[in-house]
Amino acid sequence: MRFTNSCQTEGFDGMVQYCTSCLYPDTKPDLSFDDNGVCSACAAYAAREDVDWDARRGEFLDIVAQYRSADGSNYDCIVPVSGGKDSTYQVIRLLEVGMNPLCVTATTDALSDIGRRNIENIKHLGVDYVEMTTNPVVRRQINHLALSQIGDISWPEHVAIFTIPIRIAVQHGIQLIVWGENPQNEYGGPASASGGNTLTRRWLEEFGGLLGLRVSDLPEVADIEKRHLIQYTYPEDTDLARVGVTGIFLGYYFPWDGWTNALIAQAHGFETAPQFVEGSLANYENLDNHQTGIHDYFKFLKFGFGRATDIANNHIRRGRLSRADAVQMVHAHDGKFPWTCLGKPLDEVLSDIGMTIDAFNRICDQFTNKRLFVVDNRGKPVRDANGNLTLADSGYGSES
């Protein structure tokens, strides 16, 4: 069985083009550049100026009115919640407009203490809440397999955070699911007055972006029995259609900003970390899962940018950080070897999934895009005393 090897960038000529406005490189999947060298993520943000946000808010109010239970006999919607700043913000927004959501958590891989406290905080906003935990023994097997085969330890989490709320929607007969930001920005207002926009299994599977590994592959490639994969499986289209399950992204109706979401969430009891999360430029996100640092590190190995770049770019686009200052900050924090993950030593995080640091390092080398990093004369990526790689081209263009 072959999997998508995302570190091989088709047509890549060894030189990285960076956006002239933010710090995204052209190695980022699905990113394009205009004639001025501005990336499509910056262009999408700039297009927000043309949005009539008052009108969008009106659309949102129409939708929630449409789905609000007339007699209070069922929940008005499902909100998938991780306990993070965005899901806390989603619940706050829905409670503000009088919705009665059922909050659903797909238990994360290696939940941190602060992550648990933030989940408890969401409950205390005043909502009913369900947490579905998949078999942790099988989960670790899948974490190990996904890290080894596709360089993504978080693959089962990314599956389950979509499948579990949708399964619960079908089981409870709840039509509306309210997600946060739409990472693909292509699924604007499905639950519009036109109706008939129920989710399909095919859309959900494509939306997941699962790097060529499918849940249905697991019995064959990992000898994991189908009976252990129930929660990773989408309901059938007939069930989705029978209930009329649909979804909206709150980021379509409100101008999304993780930083202000965190401020609003904090005002409602959300707890941040005492310092930046390792490899990031923020203390207000990715606080719940000790494996996320590994996930983000592999993004850096494959594409040459990590979470610090994402955070810096969000601030640049909103005028809160100059590109030149962002370059300095990203140099200092992005893509550092994840010796600790939310304060937990790497060997402990790995031992939870039955992996040694030596085995981890071999997988790192396997998924490192060698054309992006300084290599020795045998083509092996050069690590410094702290285990860190050096980008071969980290000039971020002449503008910086």
From the list 42-50, 143-151, 191-199, 375-383, the region that binds Zn ion by CB under 5 A is 42-50
Tell me: does residue 311 bind Zn ion (CB under 5 A): no
Tell me: does residue 39 bind Zn ion (CB under 5 A): yes
From the list 3-11, 31-39, 247-255, 324-332, the region that binds Zn ion by CB under 5 A is 31-39
Tell me: does residue 159 bind Zn ion (CB under 5 A): no
Tell me: does residue 22 bind Zn ion (CB under 5 A): yes
From the list 36-44, 252-260, 328-336, 357-365, the region that binds Zn ion by CB under 5 A is 36-44
CB of 397 to Zn ion, least distance (A): 11
Q: Using CB under 5 A, count the residues that bind Zn ion.
A: 6
> Whose Cβ is closer to Zn ion: residue 25's or residue 251's?
25
> What HEC string does the chain produce?
CCCCCCCCCCCCCCCCCECCCCCCECCCCCCCECCCCCEHHHHHHHHHHHCCHHHHHHHHHHHHHHHCCCCCCCCCEEEECCCCHHHHHHHHHHHHCCCCEEEEEECCCCECHHHHHHHHHHHCCCCEEEEECCCHHHHHHHHHHHHHHHCCCCHHHHHHHHHHHHHHHHHHCCCEEEECCCCCCCCCCCCCCCCCCCCCHHHHHHHHCCCCCCHHHHHHHHCCCHHHCHHHCCCCHHHHHHHCCEEEEHHHHCCCCHHHHHHHHHCCCCCCCCCCCCCCCCCCCCCCECCHHHHHHHHHHHHCCCHHHHHHHHHHHCCCCCHHHHHHHHHHHCCCCCCEECCEEHHHHHHCCCCCHHHHHHHHHHHCCCCCECECCCCCECCCCCCCCCECCCCCCCCC
Judged by CB under 5 A, which of 16, 19, 99, 355 binds Zn ion? 19
Tell me: does residue 16 bind Zn ion (CB under 5 A): no
CB of 107 to Zn ion, least distance (A): 35
CB of 20 to Zn ion, least distance (A): 8
> Whose Cβ is closer to Zn ion: residue 21's or residue 286's?
21
CB of 194 to Zn ion, least distance (A): 33
Judged by CB under 5 A, which of 42, 273, 329, 350 binds Zn ion? 42
> Whose Cβ is closer to Zn ion: residue 48's or residue 214's?
48
Judged by CB under 5 A, which of 6, 21, 154, 272 binds Zn ion? 21
Tell me: does residue 63 bind Zn ion (CB under 5 A): no
CB of 380 to Zn ion, least distance (A): 32
CB of 222 to Zn ion, least distance (A): 38
Residues 165-194 that bind Zn ion (CB under 5 A): none
Residues that bind Zn ion (CB under 5 A): 19, 21-22, 24, 39, 42
